[in-house]
Amino acid sequence: MGFVERVTEVWQGLAGVKAANGARKTAALPSILTPYTAGGRNGAAATPKPTAVNLRRFAETPVARRAINIVKDRIASMDWQVRVRRGCTAPEDAQAKMEALRMCLEEPNASDSFRTLFEQVLEDILVGGFGAIEMEATGDPARPFELYAVDGATIQIDSRWSGDPATPRYTQSAGLAGTGAQVPLLDDELMYIRLNPRTHTPFGLGRLEVAFETVNQFLSANRYAGRLASNSVVQYALWLNEATPEQHDRLIRWWQDEIEGTGRVPLLSCEQKPEVLRFAGGTDADLRIAWQEFLLRMIANAFDLPPMLLGLTGDVNKSTAGEMADDAFQSAIVPVAKLLAGHITRDLFAKRLGWREFEFAFNELESRNEMEEVQIQVQLLNAKVITVDEVRAARGLAPLTPAPEPAPVEEAA
């Protein structure tokens, strides 16, 4: 962006001019331009989200990354659909609007797909409970909106927002100097997804925040075990009885110069045999394996996952593995998926576009077993409880077009 465009953008911000249709207002990566600092700026009534840097650093560790990917990848790869909401009458152009909504969600902006966009948002939801998406209307019926992933840690919430849709509710620290340092956003311009919402704070509570202390303890125990296993931590000492200081210093120099690191067999000749004093048991118990397994279970509890999915398979057998996997799907994946679907329906379709008769839904939340779901649908079809078109609608497919009746054949005279 040139100097003229930058001045124009700042002037529009001062004058309160809204961005052009579909144009992005927030910065993509403001935390790279300026470090995140707590507290509002210029007296703004905003509360920042703390510990974002440490949370993201912990999210890059193996155990936390495994727990995050189990939920994030499963939701981002689900099949989904846009359909008419229950209790709403479909408008005449419902099919055209649903096709436009699906096309925009599959290609939310020029560089993202549905999966790449919502993987970023799900990452922030699980890490800090602050998923954020900027929603910009385009005014084009064929492509009514564009979506942009926003760093949720840079979003500040106005705690005194009155509910007026014309008053900014959110502010992003854009990393610019001067008046452009704050980007105000209306309630219908930003989709802010809170995990575990509470009444005493405007922010959510991410699953990694719950496991923060446990992950820190696990990393410390893991580093200690690594140093212990690599012999960088000495667990024993040599005790020489009745040795003079000169003999003591000579033995140390001889050991460091001739023996240590060479692999040679040390030969000692003295009146009394040296004694080895051990500081630990000299077994795998010194690595604190049981303590690390306990911490893994605590991390799994924080992410609503069974320890089996984090690699602890000692208490798992064939009869319980399937039930644990089903419980993990229902407790860890389904709530987050429904939370995301509800925000897309309410914030994007209803608030931003005004199309309240449509909703977003994932197709794979009711049953994880595809064969079981098919058998249930077949039984319902045989009992005439549902129709073929209802089954196709649940799977995101268009209804069957009735075959045209054959034209009557005139009898020959």
- pLDDT for 300-336, tens place per residue? 999 999 988 888 877 777 777 778 888 889 899 999 9
Q: Can you state the angle between helices 114-128 and 334-343, rounded to 10 degrees?
A: 110
User: How distant, in Å, are the alpha carbons of 23, 121, 150 from that of 174?
Assistant: 16, 18, 11
CA distance 158 to 164: 12
Element (H, E) at 97: helix 94-106
Give Rg (Cα) of the chain: 31
pLDDT beyond 60 at 287: yes
Nearest CA to 336 among 107, 152, 70, 156?
A: 70
Give the amino acid at 82.
V
Query: Which pair of tokens denotes residue 258?
Result: 């001739």
The chain-wide mean pLDDT, for the chain, equals 82
The pair of three-digit structure tokens given for residue 87, joined into one six-digit string: 């209790």
**Domain limits of the chain?**
17-209, 214-310, 370-400
pLDDT of residue 312: 81
| pLDDT grade for 35, boundaries at 50, 70 and 90 | very low
Q: Note the pLDDT of residue 413.
A: 46
- Confidence tier at 66 by pLDDT (50, 70, 90): very high
CB atoms within 10 A of CB 58: 21
What is the distance between the alpha carbons of residues 133 and 120, in angstroms, rounded to a whole number?
10
Alpha helices in 312-400, H assignment, sequence order: 318-328, 334-343, 370-382, 388-394
Rounded Cα distance, 232 and 309, in Å: 32
At 34, is the pLDDT very low, low, confident or very high (cuts 50, 70, 90)? Answer: very low
Q: Which of 349, 49, 44 is nearest to 169 (CA)?
A: 44
How far is residue 375's CA from residue 387's CA, in Å, rounded to a whole number?
A: 15
CA distance 310 to 67: 7
Highest mean pLDDT (candidates 26-40, 52-66, 245-259, 386-400) = 52-66
pLDDT digits (tens, 9 = 90+) for 240-275: 777 788 888 888 888 888 877 777 888 777 777 777
pLDDT over 80 (residue 22)? no
Per-residue pLDDT tens for 144-181?
999 999 999 999 998 888 889 899 999 998 666 555 67
Tell me whether residue 26 is exposed, middle or buried, using C-beta atoms within 10 angstroms of its C-beta: 0 to 12, 13 to 18, 19 or more.
Answer: buried
User: Which pLDDT band holds residue 30 (cuts at 50, 70, 90)?
Assistant: low
Q: What is the pLDDT of residue 360?
A: 96
Question: 139 phi and psi, to 5 degrees?
Answer: 80, 0
Find the mean pLDDT for residues 224-238: 73
Residues 6+ apart with CB under 8 A from 70: 303, 305, 309, 328, 332, 333
